[in-house]
Amino acid sequence: MSIPTIIIAEDEDALATLLQYNLEKEGYRVLIAGDGEEALMVIDEQKPDILLLDWMLPKVSGIEVCRRLRQKTETRNLPILMLTARGEESDRIRGLDTGADDYVVKPFSMTELMARIRAVLRRIRPGLADDRLSHGDIIVDRVAHRVKRQGREVHLGPTEFRLLDHLIQHPGRVFSREQLLDAVWGSDVYVEARTVDVHIGRLRKALNNATEVDPIRTVRSAGYSLDMEA
């Protein structure tokens, strides 16, 4: 996917700047709006992929921004991550009622926020909307959490399932161990890169019987891809 654009609607300049710095470091494109009215305008013009929405905003409040975005077809599905102050429990509930997708409570850690944003991005990746994905003779049923190859049931552990699920969304694309760690384990978890090799090994063992082509390609010093043609 192309570089995701995140809009920060936050009237505390210091926090907005800190968020911008951290998000840009992670490779996102960042837009900033200092009040609710500006946020709505920028969203309309720039069509960002995610909105980080402070609840207490001048001009148009966070809850009102949320409500208006949900009313419009073009922004009905824009992922909204609320930033709320500690203790504002009723705001959080109202926010989720109004259509926010998730919230973080201030003060939050950047690690936590980044993990939430990544989770949202995983949800909005187009492939993720499909219930069944297939590549070659492999079928992943993402609702039932079942995998079949040539019609036979393949039994996978939860990590192997997530690995395959990630790879099958982007057939042919090579992922580094670090990218797979981020996507499958989450980057807030510390796992050694070679753990990926262990789970790829298990995934292969489960997927392939003696006569079948190994669908997972090892790309030396680069990573892995799911690639039947290779």
Binding site for Ca ion (CB under 5 A): 11, 54, 56
CA angle 67, 49, 123 (to 5 degrees): 90
Give the burial class of 25: count Cβ atoms within 10 A of its Cβ; 0-12 exposed, 13-18 middle, 19 or more buried. exposed
Long-range contacts made by residues 125-128, C-beta under 8 angstroms, separation at least 24?
125/1, 125/169, 127/169, 127/170, 128/169
Least distance to Ca ion, CB of residue 84, Å: 10
Residue nearest to Ca ion (CB): 56
Nearer to Ca ion, 54 or 101 (CB): 54
**Quick one: how far is CA 189 from the chain centroid?**
15
What is the Cβ-side half-sphere exposure of residue 140, based on CA atoms within 13 angstroms?
A: 24
CB closer to Ca ion out of 10 and 227: 10
Distance CA 174, CA 62 (A): 40
CB of 12 to Ca ion, least distance (A): 6
CB of 108 to Ca ion, least distance (A): 14
CB of 184 to Ca ion, least distance (A): 35
* Closest to Ca ion by CB, 47 or 106: 106
Q: Which is nearer to Ca ion, 63 or 164 (CB)?
A: 63
